[in-house]
Amino acid sequence: MAGISIGNAGADPLAATALPIEATTLGDVVQEVFLIQTPPPQWIIIAAGAVALLVVLTRGPWRLARNVVTIVHEGGHAIVALLCGRQLSGIRLHSDTSGVTVTRGRPDGLGMVLTVLAGYIAPSIVGLLGILMLVGNRITALLWISILLLLAMLLLIRNIYGVISVVGTGLVIFGVSWFTPAEVQAAFAYFFTWFLLVAGVRPVFELQSQRRAQPTPQSDADQLDRLTGVPGTAWVFVFGLVNVAALGAGVWLLMF
C-alpha cells in the first residue's frame, strides 16, 4: 500500500432562545444543544457577512483566519479518504497555512481522485451545510457539531502547530457556545458560516497565482492532472465553479 500525501426564515413561535449552556448532566446538555433557537434579526446576518468578507479581503486578519480554512481543507481530504476506503496516516498543519493529509491505499483510481478533489471545495461545502443548519435555526447545534469534528480531527494531527491550531479553534467555538448570550452565539455562527463560504473562493485564486509564478507539482490541481489527464488549470476552474456556486446558494438561502 502506497502512502499518498495530499496538500493543501421566519421565527418559530415554539423556538427557544439560545442562552449560555448551564446544564449539569449530559442529557441536559444534549437537549439544550439541539433546541431550535429564535433566528437573529436580519441586520445581524448581514453584518456577520460583511465582517466575514472584510476578514477575507484584509491581509492581516486573512493571514490568521486562513488557518481555519486549512483545517477544513485537510479535514475534507480526510473525510473523503475514509469514505472511499483509504487509510489515514495523519494530518499536518503548518504555520505558513499549508497542510498535508497522508493516506494509504491505491495511488490512483476514483477514490484517490475524490480524495484530492475534496480539499479546495471543502470550506465552501461545509459553509453551505452550516447555512442549512442556520436556516433551520440550529445555532447551538452547529457550534457543537463543529467542536466534535475538531476533536475527531485532533486525533489525526501529527505536529505541534497542528494541535495548537485545532485546539485553539475549538476553544474559541466552545467559549462562544457555552458562555455567551443568544445574540453573540447567533452573530458568531453566522460569521463562521459566511466566512467559510467567502473564504472558500480566495484560496482558488491563490492556487492559480502560485501555479503561474512557481509551479508546484504537489498542488491538488497538479495531482489531479496526473491522476486524470485533465489539465491542472481545468481543475482550478472546477474548484472555483463549485465554491462560487456554494457562495451564491448561501446568499440566496440567507437573504431571499
Distance CA 221, CA 227 (A): 10
Which residue reads 481543475 in cell numbers? Answer: 235
The pTM for the full model equals 0.88
Distance CA 121, CA 197 (A): 10
Distance CA 253, CA 128 (A): 9
Q: pLDDT tens-digit profile of 128-175?
A: 999 999 999 999 999 999 999 999 999 999 999 999 999 999 999 999
> What does 179-194 look like in DSSP terms, one character per residue?
HS-HHHHHHHHHHHHH
Q: pLDDT tens-digit profile of 239-251?
A: 999 999 999 999 9
Q: Average pLDDT in the 4-16 region?
A: 47
Provide the pLDDT for residue 17.
Answer: 46
Q: pLDDT tens-digit profile of 48-99?
A: 999 999 999 999 999 999 999 999 999 999 999 999 999 999 999 999 999 9
Chain-centre distance of CA 31, in angstroms?
Answer: 25
